[in-house]
Amino acid sequence: MTMLEIIEKKKFGQELTKEEITFFANAAAEKTVPDYQLSALLMAIRLNGMTDRETTDLTLAMRDSGDIADLSAIPGIKVDKHSTGGVGDTTTLVLAPLVAACGAPVAKMSGRGLGHTGGTLDKLESIPGLNITLSVEDFIRQVKEIGVAVVGQTGRLAPADKTLYSLRDVTSTVDSLPLIVSSILSKKLAAGSDAIVLDVKTGSGAIMHTLEDSLKLAENMVRVGVLAGKPIVALVSGMDQPLGTHVGNALEVKEAIDILAGRRAGGDLLEVSLTLGGFMLHLAGKAETPEAGQQMMKQAIDSGAGLEKLKQMIAAQGGDPSVCDDVTRLPQAKVVRPVFCGVSGWVTKMDTMALGLAAQAMGAGRMKVDDELDYSVGFVLQVRIGDRVEADTPLCVLHARSEADADRAEAAVRAAVTIGQEPCGRVSDFFAVVTKDGVRRLGADS
């Protein structure tokens, strides 16, 4: 068997065998064939697709290309959550401590920011002293002791994906459904959890901009997850505006703390966190229904148990838990100033990707892999789609490292938010739930 033979086969749209797919994944992990041959096969897959069986075989081969975390020493059903990425998406910092406070262990390996999307690890590292690099032994011990840990992935977790992802980024094959599915699920399966809840984003700030494309991705991931032997549920949620009002690492940590402390009684971030967490508690066997799980999490907020669990996690990972009592101990920007709408009307649209890129340009995200972040910068949006605004209505509050940065960010935020003269409706948080039994559409069109 040679790589050239496998490329030739897929070039003509033929189905690859399990052995051929395993050869490909191992070659990517061990770098035993040239990048140009890996790239050629990626493009053939992008153009001709893969069957569910092929995608499952690729997912499992990529999972098996490196270490697989053994979480069996942790009692209970371990449930992981994965989001396909967005702006202001701080759900992990809200739901992980809440789910743990409700009795379900959360052993989560997360990632860093990519492009316009924020990363959970970057947000956590804005907490003074917090360490996201734990040994497997320390990771497991922490979850056994306090019920929750959120850490970075090990270097040998699905190494085939690391190679292939970097090639997809430069060969215009990022949007291939089989490659997206195998990339996400191989890492989730290697991370060792017993069940998975997926949050598939749709809209202007998502990897998939249309609802139909997002549904296809969700359905593909659920089918492959089931074939791989994992209980899995996917929810399709909106990313036509930032999920939370705070965009930027320390600012997003502050918003999560405010929610857990009960200072934010509503809002999309809370709603999405409760919904995803409800499904996690249901899959973990702690709640009879997802709705019952949501009620348990609300009680954990009211009792303070969720915030206490976050404090325990921060302390266990070497961070300063006092930030939960005094958010000003988080990194603070040098320049803080409001921006006003300037015109009357209704907020009709947001270019969420542009808003994420604006925060990235301020220093909240990386332009290059080795860029250092400024954890303090970003902005707090004061409006949502559907709001009526006047000229003196605050549009956002900028947190910048210089006046010049603030000027550039103000221009970018203004350009990304459309204020029209006709009223419009609110945008939906959720559009569908996808399980092994099919798709259940939500909302007015369901």
Give the residue numbers marked as catalytic: 82, 161, 168, 183, 187
Residue with tokens 């920011």: 113
Calpha distance 201→173 (Å, rounded): 19
Calpha distance 275→269 (Å, rounded): 10
CA angle 429, 433, 258 (to 5 degrees): 40
Q: Of 59, 53, 48, 67, nearest to 24 (Cα)?
A: 59
Among left, alpha and beta (phi > 0; psi -120 to 50; other), residue 440 is beta
Calpha distance 185→189 (Å, rounded): 6
Bridge partners of residue 440, in order along the sequence: 433
Bridge partners of residue 247, in order along the sequence: 379
Helix segments in 71-196, DSSP class H:
91-101, 120-124, 136-146, 159-170, 177-190
Calpha distance 442→446 (Å, rounded): 5
Single-letter code of the amino acid located at 124:
L
298 sits in which H/E element = helix 290-303
Q: Are 244 and 268 in contact (CB under 8 A)?
A: yes
Residue with tokens 């559409």: 441
Q: Are 235 and 437 in contact (CB under 8 A)?
A: no
